[in-house]
Amino acid sequence: MVILTLNCGSSSVKYQVYDWEKKDVLASGIIERVTLGGSSITHKAQGKADYVVTHECPTHTVAIELILHTLVHPEYGVIKDLSVIKAVGHRMVHGGMKFARSVLIDDEFLATFKELNDLAPLHNPANLMGVEAAKAVLPGVQQCAIMDTAWHQTMPAWAYMYPVPREWYEKFMVRRYGFHGTSFLYNAKRVAAILGQDPFKTNLITAHIGNGASINAVKDGCSYDTSMGLTPLEGLVMGTRSGDIDPGIIFHMMRKAGLHASDVEKKLNKESGVLGITGRWADRRDIEQAAEKGDEIALLAQQIEGYRIKKYIGAYYAALGRVDALVFTAGVGEMGPVTRHLATQGLENLGIVIDEKKNALAKCRNAELEITGAGSKVRVFVIPTDEELVMTEDSYALITGTYDVHTNYHYTFQDCDYVNKAREEGLTKDLAKKPYLKDIIVRPC
């Protein structure tokens, strides 16, 4: 059985193809600039050269058709025909108060999900386009919705309620929801395995730092608090999103600059964050290169981002009372030593110390690494996230009738002997170039 997972953005489609029987990733890739012109696909398959080609995708349907064509391509493909695909798992960003778990997609689901578009106007409509496109291209194949917000349904009311008029909550669903749920779920289960602990007796702080970024306090294996709120705009400084700001700024700029609500929404979502600080760069790699050359604005952007992460670490430490591990994950979290350094600098009195030498070496997408420093009471890990595997396992469980919420369900990656075959293959290549990685690789249990 093959399961296809799709993560559809407004102008991109990420995908992964998983062979359930072999427990192996057959291929993964992304189509960029969907609907914008100049579209291209980057396709990576085991044992084959990367396939990169320009192909116009004016709609998401065309993009998914291109993915399926590539999967059965005689040279770059990984399956003989499309009949082996038995399920498609979709990342659905905002489930609101309607969806607290992954679900099978039917007409009732689609109608209800559309009602939530206002809660995530940049994400939910794109997710729906992906579902409609997949249904059109793969009729008869079961579609599954994997909710980004589901992981955070265990938050207590004192963590998710805002101090705003009660009517806003009761009539308009205004509360903290949280996002990056599949990433946080994966990391919570993996780190418990690494520690050799019962996941439901484990306290963690996990920082998912990418273009979008959020941080999660995990108490006894469940989400306790998180930095993103009603929308994915709140919390940490991000690539183009502001994160926490004084709400008064919005009214100030509407009065002073004559901005409308839609103008402010666009600027806070697409023109702020490190892009707003620097005026030039949203990609942290560009900022890092400029900072290394002494660019003061790039250095400031790094300091602001690291400082905000550090404040959240301190707050969540206080909320949890005891922390077993601090985890960095996602693109910047996995590959950004400077960000990790700035986020942990000065936390020695909290018992958080990183080994700066190990931190500088910890840049790898194929291995679980430890950068804990001498005397640290809290272990510090750099863990490659795997949201696609969570989506795959939930999809399989949904179509076979074995699915349950994570507190009642056992994922394969919770096991000590779990191996990601694709990453093992990649790690072999990494170690050939970077043999020092072997000294910071951590093995479960």
Mean pLDDT in consecutive groups of 10 residues from the start of the chain, 445 residues: 88 90 92 87 89 91 91 91 94 86 92 82 81 88 94 97 97 94 96 95 97 96 97 94 97 96 93 96 92 97 98 98 97 96 97 97 95 97 95 96 94 91 88 94 83
- What's the rounded Cα separation, in Å, for the pair 150 and 404? 12
Classify domain 2-147 by CATH number: 3.30.420.40
Scanning the structure block, which residue is given the tokens 């940490």?
236
Of 298, 242, 231, 296, the residue nearest 267 (C-alpha): 242
Please tell me if the domain spanning 2-147 has the same topology as the one spanning 187-383.
yes
Any residues with CB less than 8 A from the CB of 271 and at least 6 apart, and which? Answer: 240
- What's the rounded Cα separation, in Å, for the pair 17 and 97? 30
- Write down the pLDDT at residue 426: 87
Any residues with CB less than 8 A from the CB of 15 and at least 6 apart, and which? Answer: 4, 5, 6, 7, 28, 29, 30, 67
- What's the rounded Cα separation, in Å, for the pair 31 and 53? 10
Cα 432-338-373 angle, rounded to 5 deg: 75
In the chain, what are the domain boundaries? 2-147, 187-383
Report CA torsion sign: 373, 285, 188, 220.
Answer: positive
Task: Name the CATH superfamily housing domain 187-383.
Answer: ATPase, nucleotide binding domain (3.30.420.40)
- Write down the pLDDT at residue 6: 93
Helix and strand element counts for the chain (H, E): 16, 14
In the residue annotation, 404 being an active-site residue is answered as: no
- Write down the pLDDT at residue 343: 98
Per the CB < 8 A criterion, the answer to whether 113 and 128 are in contact is yes
User: Residue 40 forms beta bridges with which residues?
Assistant: 32, 54
- Write down the pLDDT at residue 32: 87
Q: Which of 50, 148, 246, 430 is catalytic?
A: 148
- What's the rounded Cα separation, in Å, for the pair 131 and 173? 24
Q: Could you report the per-residue pLDDT of 243-271, keeping only the tens digit for each?
A: 999 999 999 999 999 999 999 999 999 99
Half-sphere exposure of 126 (CA within 13 A, CB side): 18
